[in-house]
Structure 1
Amino acid sequence: MKKKRVGILGGTFDPPHLGHLILANEVLQELELDEIRFMPNQEPPHKDKPADVTSRDRLNMLELSVAGNPAFKIETIELERTGRSYTYDTMVLLKNREPDVQFYFIIGADMIEYLPKWRNIGELVQLVQFVGVNRPKYSHATPYPVQYVEIPEIHISSSLIRNHLQKKRSVKYLIVDPVWEYIKEHHIYGT
């Protein structure tokens, strides 16, 4: 029996944007995966915790973003735990929960450079296949096994969107319309 092939795209998704969706769709197609799971962090080890946006807000916006694509799912395992979200701990839990799934952990080139600093990286590369995607201004060089997928260069980031919102600039075409409606309705990011 063929193993289910699942891509994991972790992040703060603060907010989720079209770059996340394009990246996920490109990897899904290129590697012929069965699904992509978007996995919001509780507390990423390399970033500060999101300030004025709750985990519930980020999850709601992510649900709105992936609605309509049956291959896009949400994995809440990191939101169900407290403290820092270390990929190694999460993947041990996922592999124990779903031993027959082959996981592909998707990272941008910025994280490829950071891999030597990941907790238990030697053991982690035994649990998952890392998939690296290009990101402007970053190298793909790493001593770890990373499968590369070339994606369109997308210069959209969550910080760009938050910056636009703080300056009262439009975020149309950067996020899906239902996420924009959610942001306005819940008065987040200074709206």
Structure 2
Amino acid sequence: MIKVGIMGGTFDPIHYGHLLAAERARESCGLDEIWFIPSFQPPLKENDPNADVNARLEMVYRAIDFQPHFRAMDIELERGGTSYSIDTVQALQELYPGRAFSYIIGSDRVNDLPQWHRIQELAEIVSFIGVERPGESIDVSLLPSYIVDRLTVVGMPLVDISSTEIRQRQADKRSIRFMVPEKVYSFIRRNSLYEKPE
């Protein structure tokens, strides 16, 4: 059975924090591959992504270039609409049998798991890997047992980078270099992503 970690999100833009979380989860949980799946419209976020679907997918491709264990998947972008994890996993199981899937999520999102669409059904077919940053511990006592039983917590060094901060810095004409991979940085600059209109 091939063990696959799913990294979902808007990736608006993808940054080093995403890549480090993916690698820590892969290493700690013995995953064979990490599949990065940009969402079309995440259900628990109110605002639409800033960059369009093609730009966000292209940034993921550029960020994981030459990483043998990382792969980009456009399944949610192709489907469109609200990106529910249960729909994605069921489609992946059909397309790619013989794989065991785990969702990799940041410690700030673990507490949201009970709000996920059809979460009990999802918990029956995937496991969850909570990536815990220093100062952001996961309190499993707040979670129902059907999630706790399927949750593995892994540690991660403090990397204080967020997509929100990157977009704001770009809008303010401040440097985002070394917050994102060089190929992503070049793509953002060349396409004037996240800049305020003059």
TM-score range, shorter chain: over 0.9
Structure 1 residue 109: deviation in Å?
Answer: 1.4
**Alpha-carbon deviations, 1:106-143, whole Å to 9, x = none?**
01112211111111111101110111111454633222
Q: Is the 8 A contact 1:134 1:140 kept in 2?
A: no
Query: In angstroms, what is the RMSD of aligned CA positions?
Result: 1.3
Q: Is the 8 A contact 1:61 1:182 kept in 2?
A: yes
Structure 1 residue matching 2:111: 3-state secondary structure? helix
Aligned with 2:123 (options 122, 125, 149): 125
Say whether residues 1:183 and 2:188 are aligned partners: yes
Structure 2 residue matching 1:5: 3-state secondary structure? strand
CA distance in 2, matches of 1:64, 1:115: 29
Structure 2 residue matching 1:152: 3-state secondary structure? coil
Match of 2:89 in 1: 91
Say whether residues 1:165 and 2:170 are aligned partners: yes
CA distance in 2, matches of 1:140, 1:111: 12
CA distance in 1, matches of 2:136, 2:19: 21
Q: Is the 8 A contact 2:172 2:195 kept in 1?
A: no
CA distance in 1, matches of 2:25, 2:136: 20
Q: Is the 8 A contact 2:15 2:179 kept in 1?
A: yes
CA distance in 2, matches of 1:131, 1:147: 5
CA distance in 1, matches of 2:80, 2:137: 31
Question: Please, which runs of 5 or more residues in structure 1 have no aligned partner?
Answer: none
CA distance in 2, matches of 1:69, 1:18: 13
CA distance in 2, matches of 1:98, 1:37: 12
Structure 1 residue matching 2:24: 3-state secondary structure? helix
Structure 1 residue matching 2:87: 3-state secondary structure? helix
Match of 1:37 in 2: 35
CA distance in 2, matches of 1:179, 1:115: 30
Q: Is the 8 A contact 2:40 2:77 kept in 1?
A: yes
**Alpha-carbon deviations, 1:14-42, whole Å to 9, x = none?**
00100011111111111121110111001
Structure 2 residue matching 1:79: 3-state secondary structure? helix
Say whether residues 1:101 and 2:102 are aligned partners: no
Q: Which moved more, 1:131-140 or 1:79-88?
A: 131-140
Say whether residues 1:149 and 2:149 are aligned partners: no
Question: Please, which runs of 5 or more residues in structure 2 have no aligned partner?
Answer: none
CA distance in 2, matches of 1:140, 1:56: 37
Structure 1 residue matching 2:89: 3-state secondary structure? helix
Alignment CA distance shift 1:140-1:76 (3 Å): farther
Percent identical residues: 38
TM-score normalized by structure 1?
0.94
Say whether residues 1:14 and 2:12 are aligned partners: yes
Q: Which moved more, 1:56-65 or 1:134-143?
A: 134-143
